[in-house]
Amino acid sequence: MEGNLRKMKVSCNTNSIDYSLKLGDTSILMNEQIGKNIKISFDGKINCVVCGRLIKKVVGQGFCYPCFTKSAENSDCIIRPELCRGHLGEGRDPLWEKENHVQPHVVYLANSSGLKVGVTRSSQIPTRWIDQGASSAIILAETENRYLAGTIEVALKEHFADKTDWRKMLKNETLFIDLVKEKEEAEFLLPIHLSGYFSNNNTLYNFNFPVLKYPAKITSFGLEKNPVIEGVFNGIKGQYLYIGDSGVINIRNHSGYFVNIEFN
């Protein structure tokens, strides 16, 4: 099976997370391959995920440089939601902003490698948390656009981390955190003018990832330096594949790479 890599799609039920990876016209049900030997081969071909043209080097997650600098998907507010201008009818692509950022958003607390605060579009629940490898998450605030959610996140970043330690996450070095209690305490950290967005939804989301065993150490593979990666496929967490005793590869970070994948 061969084709250009894009992030894996996920579906979630009460018992498991199911992953699928599309390569060309073929969709692979990844959970069914766990425990088999996997071989990923890369011949150097990369296509921009936006314009499709052949490129030598990606910028960001699968973009050529022109698309990276012009695409709305790479605006500053993707990383810093508080900079969003979509609610003002502005941005790199106002229509894209309206469809994606002038939409209901949530501010959340999650336990990935530890307690963190984050922002995502409401329609991305629970996909965003699964992509981050979170073991649990809870909604803290609900807003009508990305800008407001980002403003709340900024106020809380003085008290909570906003990044995941990906190595700890992949080794499953996660301690129990009472997210309901953390949320209750966070309510009093909100500035008065933002307190009305606090959510009364205390649904606790828990995630069980399809991993046979978690490694004691992590070796991260990149396809430029490792054009052939092979070993036992031990599972998936976030957008990472576990291969062999300690190897991992981030599929999303290799968006646009043309690969051949074999299982046996």
CB contact at 8 A, 138 and 203: yes
What's this model's pTM, rounded to 2 decimal places?
0.93
Low-confidence residues of the chain: pLDDT under 50: none
Residue 75 in tokens: 């605006």
- Give Cα 151 distance to the centre of its chain: 21
pLDDT digits (tens, 9 = 90+) for 119-153: 999 999 999 999 999 999 999 999 999 999 999 99
Given this model, what pLDDT does residue 15 score? 72
Residues forming a β-bridge with 118:
108
pLDDT digits (tens, 9 = 90+) for 51-79: 999 999 999 899 999 999 999 999 999 99
